[in-house]
Chains A and B, each alone.
Chain A
């Protein structure tokens, strides 16, 4: 099984790809069967009863990347400049070829004179693909999910 160090390295690598807008490289981290979920407020009533900020499977994630790469997603023109710290990594579950890992992040995003600070907890379900990880599911619970936000069009 991978070591704690390997898991950390993967999360740090993913964070760097997101910070640097490396869209294709980030997409390549995802498994074919994937779920990307950012609740809006709480999600107690389930996905058909509670609206989310992001609730996408692989095709939705691919479309998101296509929009970002297409040059006509004006909310990222110019792009946000970002730096995020990923920390507090805990392994919640460890099974054959699969891990559930939670971590926190603190993201500073700067765009057109506006400085945004976004923080939250990310929970990854990672699958081992040979020696590499693939993201099977990712849930991001934002500390500000109940608040008014303007631009969350970069990758978190």
Chain B
């Protein structure tokens, strides 16, 4: 593995064991451009990265331009109905062949010298090819596919390394079970992710969003006014308990995947008819889920209020949407939210989900914008390095192991930060290798 030889011969190699401790982490992991470069290599350009869901490209020729780490790719359904991840780079002189964010194309023609590629990736034509020598064969110059591609429930992941653990190993059974909730809240077990995008950016490191996505501690503080005003509107008079006595759990699922489980006895009682009358549209929806998945599973999923899980490094499911985190630079991140419809569920229920999403999320929302504000305040505060440490010790040593193997903590514990950053340390230090290339490093 040549890349490791190169790195290990570097006398300035970063000692990640000193930057990430059991109970705290050093500011540098969020601010050092050299660490960001290494993250791109070790995490985003070798490991499994989420690219898109197949419902975003339902028809042959449909495509979405995406990124894997810093590298541009095309997520596309070819004329052969295969879904692929192709590198967005002309094999001749490297220009991106697809300048559009999304669309439908039979072929991509590079504007520079007219090389034309099929939507399956193959090289269709090279103008004036007679001037190339006999050793030149068109079939060797199709758009390069991402070396490894695999899907789970239509979620396409890709890895830019030829060898490494499989997607199955990367996800593991616990994370898959969380993802399943998102899909099985549709009686058809399907979602439609072609409903538009909320796009936001912030001046800060990508890990801030990854950690925040399952940070239970902030909910009762940062979002207090949003929660209070929403509850007032809904006529709810008892404030929810998001504090240290809340019955909710954070679940570390392995490989830095983290979920929060907000199942509550109150939600379950309501669903099983123990409380006030359930509105007709809601009842119809519940009945359809019971019919499709059985009462126990349907009620369990509904009591959860939807999926809420980080799939490390760049995919999050939160109730109504899929979230894709895009690291741009050490202090610049873009986040794309894809709210989705539950298939075979009424407009009333899906519309209600959308309205709830819109009020909180997106650049004009009343919740997520406060998260972004805090990320930027953190970026500014990280420059104060008299004490460069950031705490991740809340609930340390009080973890429990559930019967399914998940390591859990109370909802407000910093279990999420520890699960993410300790895994991050093992990958960054080379203790755990997410993928390797067969090519010689130059």
Q: Do the two shown chains form a genuine complex with each other? A: yes
> B72 at the A/B interface (Cβ < 8 Å)?
no
Q: Choose, from B152-160, B347-355, B383-391, B409-417, the stretch at the interface.
A: B347-355
Contact of A63 among B199, B357, B366, B372 (CB under 8 A): B366
> A87 at the A/B interface (Cβ < 8 Å)?
no
The tally of residues in A whose CB lies under 8 Å from a CB in B reads: 38
Q: Which B residues contact A (CB, under 8 angstroms)? A: 101, 195-202, 222, 224-226, 229-230, 233, 334, 339, 341, 347, 350-351, 354-355, 357-359, 362-364, 366, 369-370, 372-374, 376
Q: Are A40 and B362 in contact (CB under 8 A)?
A: yes
Q: Are B196 and A51 in contact (CB under 8 A)?
A: yes
Q: A60-B359, A64-B366 are in contact. List 12 more A-B contacts (CB 8 A).
A: A38-B364, A41-B196, A45-B196, A47-B351, A48-B351, A49-B341, A51-B198, A53-B364, A55-B355, A74-B374, A75-B369, A150-B201
Cβ contacts under 8 Å, A71 to chain B: 225
- Measured in the bound complex, the distance between the Cα atoms of B226 and A70 in whole Å is 10
> A148 at the A/B interface (Cβ < 8 Å)?
yes
Q: Are A40 and B197 in contact (CB under 8 A)?
A: yes
Least Cβ–Cβ distance between A29 and chain B, in angstroms:
18
Least Cβ–Cβ distance between B153 and chain A, in angstroms:
21
Q: Are B366 and A67 in contact (CB under 8 A)?
A: yes
Contact of A47 among B341, B354, B369 (CB under 8 A): B354
Q: Are B366 and A147 in contact (CB under 8 A)?
A: no
Q: Are A73 and B366 in contact (CB under 8 A)?
A: yes
> A50 at the A/B interface (Cβ < 8 Å)?
yes
> A151 at the A/B interface (Cβ < 8 Å)?
yes
Q: Mark A24-54, 1 if CB is under 8 A from B, else 0.
A: 0000000000000010111101011111111
Cβ contacts under 8 Å, A112 to chain B: 376
Least Cβ–Cβ distance between B179 and chain A, in angstroms:
21
- Measured in the bound complex, the distance between the Cα atoms of B202 and A75 in whole Å is 12
- Measured in the bound complex, the distance between the Cα atoms of B374 and A73 in whole Å is 11
> A152 at the A/B interface (Cβ < 8 Å)?
yes
- Closest residue of chain A to B370, judged by CB? A74
3 closest cross-chain pairs (CB), A and B: A72-B225, A149-B363, A75-B369
